[in-house]
Amino acid sequence: MSETEGKLLQGTCGWASPHQALSIYGGKVKGSEERLRIYSRKAFAALEIDTTTYAIPNPERTRLWAGLTPPGFTFLVKAFGVFCGSVEVGNLPKSTRAVLGVDPADRKRINYSDLCEAAREDLWTRFHAALEPLRDAGKLGCVVFQFHLSSFGPHRTNRTHVEHLRSKLSPRIRMAVEFRDRAWIQGDEASRTVEWCRANDFALVGADELLHETMQPDRAQTGLRPGEVRRAMPTLLAATCEWGAVVRVHRRHGTRERLLEDDEIRAWGRRIWEVAPRLRGPIWCLWGTDWKDAAIENAAKLAAAVGDEIVFDWIGMQKKASMQEKGGIASLFAKAQKSELSAEDRAAVSLAKTHKRPAEVHPARTVETSAIARMFAAKKSKREDDNERPEIETWR
C-alpha cells in the first residue's frame, strides 16, 4: 500500500508567474529555480508544469527541476499543445520545423493533423526525452492532455484521436484527460465518458471553471463585469483509474475572485471523499489561482474541509526530514572537531566551510569531496534553455 493511497496532494499550475508572489518566498520574487526549491519544501507536494503546453523543454531542464525538489515530490506535466490541437509554428523544435519545411514567418499555427509521420515521431521522441528525467527520479505523476473548448466535443473522431495519443505516449507514463467542452460530462454523455476513460485507464480531470471567464473571456483580467453573476461551470470527479485522480481549478481574472467560496470548497471536499476510497494512488488538486497567496488559502480551506484522514501531511514530512538532516550535519561537524573523521571527510567539511554553508550529508554515509563540489557548482550554474517560454496565465 502506497503512503499516498487515497490521499490529497495539492499544488499549483505553474510556479514562475509574477502574480504568484507567495508569502513563502519572503516577499521577494526570486528566480524560478530558488522558487521551486522553496515551494517544494514549504508549501506543496505537487506541481503542474504548464509551460510544456507551449514548448518542449530540454531534458537538462527537467533534470534540474527533479534535482531541486525533495524525494516524494511529484510533477504533473501538461502535454505539448499540438498533440491536443494546434501550436505556434515558432514553438516547434527546430528539428521538427526542418522535417516539415515550414518557416514561422510564413505560417503562424499548425495542427496535429497537418504533421507528417516523421514530424510526429520527432515530437514524441523529444517530448518523451523531456519526461524521462522526471520519471527516472520517480517524480512524474502523469501527463495532462487538455482539449479545447470550441473544437473538441464528444464525437467518435475525437475519441479516436485521444486513443491515438495514448498509443503514442509511453505505456510507462500515466495519462489524464481534461475536456473543456462540458458536453463530455453532462447528461447521458457523462456515463459514456466515464466508462470510456475507465476502459483506457485515463484519469478524467475534474476541472473547475467560472462561466463568465470561459464563455466571455475578459482579456483585461478585471473579473466580473457590472451585472454579471459568478457561476461555476458543471464539473465531474470520478474514479476512472486506480492510480489516481486529478482536479484542476481555473481562476484567471480579478483578485479576490480567485478565492473559492465556502460552498465551492465544501462541494470539492464531498467529491474527493467519494473517490478517495476507490483509489490506489493520490488525488492531485492543482490550483490555477495565481494571485499572491490565493492558492495557499484555497489549499488550506480544502484541507480543512476533507480532514486529516485524507490530507497527506507533506509539510510535516519535510520538517521531519529537515530535522534529521540537521542532526546528521551537526554530528558530522562534531566528529570533525574531535578528529574522528577520515581524511576524505575532513576535506569535505573544509570545502563546505569554504563555501560558508553546511555540507548536505546523510549521517550514515561517507561524504565524497567531489560530490559536494558538484553540488555547489550546480547551485551556482545557470543553464539557458532556448525552448523555455514564460508562463501564459490566460487560458490555462
Q: Which residue has the cell 558538484?
A: 374
120 has pLDDT over 80: yes
393 has pLDDT over 70: no
CA nearest neighbour of 77 among 163, 11, 4, 148: 11
Q: What is the mean pLDDT of residues 174-200?
A: 97
377 has pLDDT over 70: no
Overall pTM > 0.95: no
pLDDT number for residue 104 = 86
251 has pLDDT over 90: no
Q: What is the mean pLDDT of residues 338-364?
A: 46
**DSSP-derived secondary structure for 207-274:** EE-BHHHHHS--TT---SPTT----BPP------STT-EEEEEE--SSSGGGSPPHHHHHHHHHHHHH
Instruction: Give per-residue pLDDT as tens, 195-235.
Output: 999 999 999 999 998 877 777 655 555 666 777 777 778 89
392 has pLDDT over 60: no
- Report which of residues 255 and 310 the model is more confident about: 310
Instruction: Give per-residue pLDDT as tens, 18-45.
Output: 777 788 888 776 789 999 999 999 999 9
pLDDT number for residue 279 = 98
Among 173-182, 278-287, 339-348, which is the least confidently predicted range?
Answer: 339-348
H or E segment to which residue 143 belongs: strand 140-147
- Report which of residues 125 and 324 the model is more confident about: 125
Helix 369-380 and helix 343-354, axial crossing angle in degrees, nearest 10? 20
The mean of the pLDDT values for the chain is 84
d(CA 248, CA 103): 35
Identify whether the C-beta of residue 134 lies closer than 8 Å to the C-beta of residue 77: yes
Identify whether the C-beta of residue 97 lies closer than 8 Å to the C-beta of residue 115: no
Q: What is the mean pLDDT of residues 306-310?
A: 96
Pairing of strands 140-147, 74-78: parallel
H or E segment to which residue 392 belongs: none
60 has pLDDT over 80: yes
Name the amino acid, one letter, at 263: D
179 has pLDDT over 60: yes
In this prediction, what percent of the chain has a pLDDT beyond 90? 65
Q: What is the mean pLDDT of residues 353-369?
A: 37
pLDDT number for residue 286 = 98
pLDDT number for residue 81 = 97
Identify whether the C-beta of residue 221 lies closer than 8 Å to the C-beta of residue 253: yes
Q: In order of start, what are the domains of the chain with their CATH numbers?
A: 8-312 (3.20.20.410), 318-380 (no CATH)
CB neighbours (10 Å) of residue 366? Answer: 12
Instruction: Give per-residue pLDDT as tens, 131-156.
Output: 999 999 999 999 999 998 878 999 99
pLDDT number for residue 105 = 84
- Report which of residues 21 and 385 the model is more confident about: 21
Q: What is the mean pLDDT of residues 346-363?
A: 43
Instruction: Give per-residue pLDDT as tens, 256-301.
Output: 889 999 999 999 999 999 999 999 999 999 999 988 899 999 999 9
In this prediction, what percent of the chain has a pLDDT beyond 70? 80
Q: What is the mean pLDDT of residues 119-135?
A: 99
pLDDT number for residue 364 = 34
**What is the pLDDT confidence band of residue 127, given thresholds at 50, 70 and 90?**
very high
16 has pLDDT over 90: no
